[in-house]
Amino acid sequence: MPSIISVADLVKRYGPLEAVRGISFEVGEGEIFGLLGPNGAGKTTTVEILEGLRRADAGSAVVAGVDVVHDPQAVKDRIGVQLQASAFPENFLAKEVIDLFALFYGRRVDALALLAAVDLADKAGSRQEKLSGGQRQRLSIAVAMVNEPRVLFLDEPTTGLDPQARRNLWELIRKIRQRGTTVFLTTHYLDEAEILCDRVAVMDGGRIIALDAPGALVAALLARGFTKPALQQQANLEDVFLDLTGRELRED
Amino acid sequence: MSGGRQAVGQILGYTRMLLRAYVRDRSALFFSVVLPLMFMLIFGALNFGSFGHVTVGIDDEAQNADSARFTAILQGVETLSVRKGTLVGERESLVKGDRDLVIVIPKDFRLAPAAAGTATPPALTVYANAGRAQQASVGQAILAQVVDQLTFAVNRTAPVVALRVERVNSRDLRYVDFLVPGILAMTIMQLGISGVAFGLVAAKQRGVLRRIMATPFPPRRFLAAQVLQRLILAVVQTLILLGVALLAFRVQVVGSLAELLAVTILGSVVFLCLGFALAGWATTENQVAPLTQIVTLPQLFLSGVFFATDAVPAVVRPLTSLLPLTFLADALREISTNGATLWDVRGALLGLLVWSAIGFALAVRLFRFES
C-alpha cells in the first residue's frame, strides 16, 4: 500500500513548550487512520500542520505529494478538512454553503448531489444555522468533499452527537473510504476508533507511544498478561440505549 | 492572466453571496435602513431641534392699512409662522412656549417718511422667548431685515422687498435639509465601524474565518470581497435614504448626486478601515460593543450629525473639527444643502484621505484572521 501521508521527526514548539516532539508515521492510501490521545497530547497541532494551517519547526511531512513543512498553502487544494470548533457563515442556505466553498476552491459542483451523498438533500434550502448538530457535521463533510480531496481530515467528528447520529456518521465515513478517499481522524472515543479505524496512533506528551491496528494493540496488551477485573458482559449500556430508542437517525 | 480573471470572478462571486446573505439578515437590514429612517422621521417630522420655524404672535393695535401691509410681509416669510391676537393672549402663549416672539404694533404705526424734525418714529415692541433663544434671535434678525428693507423702500422709491428676505432664509433654515446629510454620514460610519467589527469578530470567534483559511482561497480576495460588499451596501443605503428624504421629507439636494455618492464611498473607506482595525483589536464579541461605542458615540454628538457644531464648546472644537465623521458630515452637507462641488469641499476630502491612510495603516497592523 503506497503512503499518502509520510511524517518524519516532526517538531512544533510554542515558545518553551514542545507540543510535538519528533513524531514519525505513515498513512497508506485508502486507510481510515485514527490519531488518539488525551487533551493536550498534540493531536490537533499535528493535524493542523498536516492541513497546512500551522508551520512545523522541524522534520518533514508530505501529504498527497505536497511538502507541508515548506509549502503549507499548496496542500489545501488536495485535502478536505473538518475543523474542530469552526462554523459556516450565517444566513447561508445549506446548498449555498456548498457553492461558497466550491467558489473558494475555484470549482463548479453539483451542490444537490453532494448534499444527497450525506443524506441532506431535503435540507438544501434550509439555513445552515438551523440544522441539528448531526446534520451540521454531515454538511461539513459534504463541504470537505467539494474539491474531491485525496485525504479527508476529520477532527473529532462525532463529539457532541447522540448515539444514532454517531452511527450514521460512521456509515458515511466508511462510504467515503469505499470511494477511495483516505480518512485521517482524531477522536476521544475509543469505541469509535476500534470500530472505524484500520490503524491508530496513540499520542501522549507530544510523542506517538503506540501505532498499529486496534486488534493488534489489544492482542499485544493481552499478551503482556493484562486482565480485566470486571465481568465480561455480552452487552453494555449503549446497547441498551440503542435497543430502547432504535437505530433510526433523529434530528432535533 | 487566467489567475487574474479567476481572482476577479472569485471576489465578485463571494461579494454576491455576501450581499444575498446580508439581505436575508433582518437585524442588519433594521440597523442599516430602518433605524436611520426612524431617526429621520423622529428628528425630522417632530422638527426636534428646529430653528426652521419661528412662531411670531402679532398684537396689531394700529389696525390700519400700513400695519396690515407690514403683517402681510411677515406672513410672506416662509420661516415665520404668524399668529394674530391680543397682547395679553399672545404673551400668555409666549410664556407657555407656543410663541418665539411677540410683536406689538403701536397705534401710531405708519409706513411713511418721518417728517423732518418731528419726534421719534413709531416703535415696535418685541417680546422674545428666552427659552428658545435660537428661534427668537433668528426671528429678530428677520424682523430687523424686514424693517430695514421697509425703511429703504419708504424713503427711496424701491417697491416690494419681502421676496428677497424669504429667499435668503428659506433654504438654510429647514432642519430636515440640515439633518439628512448628517444621518447619511452616521449610517456610513455605523455600517463601516459597527458592521465590520461585529461581523468579523463574531466570524473569528465562531471559527468561520479559520474554516475559510483552511481552503486555498487567498486572504486578500477574502478582504477584497468584504470591502466591496460594504461599499456597495453604502451606496445602496445612501440611495434609499436619499430617496425617502427627497420624496417623503421634500429635502432639497442642491449639489450633484454623483459627487454626493463619491464622498459616500470615500467616507465608507475611512470607516471600513477603522472597522477592520477594531475587529483586529477586539478578540471577543463582548469587547466589540464597548470598543465601537467609544469610537462612534462621541463622534455622533460632536461631529454635527444632529446639531450644528456651533453647539460644541469652543474649547474642544479644534479637536472635534478633526474627527472623521465631522469631515464626512460637513462635506455631504455642503454638497447637499449649499450645492458645493468636490473642489469646494477639498479641505474635508483631504481630512478624509488622511483618516483613510491612518485607518488603513491601523487595519494592516491590527487585523488578524485568527484570534
Domain match, A216 and A165 both: yes
Nearest by CB: A89 against B6, B208, B215:
B208
Of A148, A175, A198, which residue sits at a domain end? A148
Average pLDDT, chain B: 84
A36: domain range?
1-74+151-252
Domain match, A104 and A221 both: no
Domain match, A60 and A92 both: no
Domain match, A156 and A144 both: no
Domain match, A38 and A157 both: yes
Is A91 within 8 Å of chain B by CB? yes
The rounded distance, in Å, linking the Cα atoms of A146 and A213 is: 30
Separation in Å, CA B86 to CA A59, A172, B60, B90, B102: 99, 90, 8, 6, 10
Rounded mean pLDDT of B258-286?
92
pLDDT tens by residue, A107-143: 999 999 999 999 999 999 999 999 998 899 999 999 9
Is A156 within 8 Å of chain B by CB? no
What pLDDT shows up at residue B124? Answer: 85
Q: Indicate the DSSP class of residue B345.
A: T
**Least trusted range by pLDDT, from B124-138, B157-171, B247-261, B291-305:** B157-171
Cβ pair A105:B215 closer than 8 A = yes
CB A140 within 8 A of CB A173: no
Cβ pair B213:A77 closer than 8 A = no
What pLDDT shows up at residue A68? Answer: 96
Q: Chain B: nearest CA to A103, how far in angstroms?
A: 6
First to last CA, chain A: 42
Is A210 within 8 Å of chain B by CB? no
Of A148, A182, A208, which residue sits at a domain end? A148
> HEC string of chain A?
CCEEEEEEEEEEEECCEEEEEEEEEEEECCCEEEEECCCCCCHHHHHHHHCCCCCCCEEEEEECCEECCCCHHHHCCCEEEECCCCCCCCCCEHHHHHHHHHHHCCCCCCHHHHHHHCCCHHHCCCEHHHCCHHHHHHHHHHHHCCCCCCEEEEECCCCCCCHHHHHHHHHHHHHHHHCCCEEEEEECCHHHHHHHCCEEEEEECCEEEEEECHHHHHHHHHHCCCCCCCCCCCCCHHHHHHHHHCCCCCCC
Cβ pair A87:B211 closer than 8 A = yes
Rounded mean pLDDT of A70-81?
95
User: Does residue B75 surpass a pLDDT of 60?
Assistant: yes
CB B270 within 8 A of CB B356: yes
CB B158 within 8 A of CB B33: no
Separation in Å, CA B234 to CA B33, B186, B191: 10, 11, 7
Average pLDDT, chain A: 92
The rounded distance, in Å, linking the Cα atoms of B154 and B163 is: 16
Write the CB contacts of B279 (distance below 8 Å, at least 6 apart in sequence).
Answer: B196, B197, B199, B200, B201, B204, B288, B367
CA geometry: angle at A114 spanning A113 and A120, to 5°? Answer: 90
Residue with cell 440505549: A241
Nearest by CB: B214 against A83, A99, A100:
A83
Q: Indicate the DSSP class of residue B215.
A: S
Cβ pair A89:B20 closer than 8 A = no
Domain match, A66 and A15 both: yes
Q: Chain B: nearest CA to A181, how far in angstroms?
A: 18
The rounded distance, in Å, linking the Cα atoms of B186 and B33 is: 12
Domain match, A211 and A184 both: yes
What pLDDT shows up at residue B156? Answer: 66
Residues in chain A: 252
Which residue ranges make up each domain of chain B?
Answer: 2-47+174-366, 54-173
User: Does residue B162 surpass a pLDDT of 60?
Assistant: no
Domain match, A157 and A250 both: yes
Q: Chain B: nearest CA to A134, how far in angstroms?
A: 18
0.90 cut: is pTM over it?
A: no
The CATH classification of domain B54-173, taken from the options 1.10.1060.10, 3.30.565.60, 3.40.50.2300, 3.40.1710.10: 3.40.1710.10
Taking CB atoms and an 8 Å cut-off, how many pairs form between chains A and B? 65
Nearest by CB: B211 against A86, A90, A96:
A86
User: Does residue B157 surpass a pLDDT of 60?
Assistant: no
Is A199 within 8 Å of chain B by CB? no
**How many domains would you assign to chain A?**
2
Residue B171: band (very low, low, confident or very high) from pLDDT cuts 50, 70, 90: very low
**Least trusted range by pLDDT, from B9-23, B48-62, B271-285:** B48-62
Domain match, A125 and A45 both: no
CB A64 within 8 A of CB A75: yes
Rounded mean pLDDT of B45-65?
75
Q: Which residues of chain B neighbour A100 with C-beta distances below 8 Å?
A: 14, 17
Nearest by CB: A76 against B6, B17, B216:
B216
Residue with cell 518553551: A16
The rounded distance, in Å, linking the Cα atoms of A38 and A212 is: 18
The rounded distance, in Å, linking the Cα atoms of B138 and A36 is: 80
Q: Indicate the DSSP class of residue B217.
A: -
pLDDT tens by residue, A198-208: 999 999 999 99
Nearest by CB: B21 against A89, A101, A104:
A89
Residue A231: which CATH number?
3.40.50.300
Domain match, A161 and A66 both: yes
Domain match, A237 and A175 both: yes
Domain match, A169 and A247 both: yes
Of A107, A124, A148, which residue sits at a domain end? A148
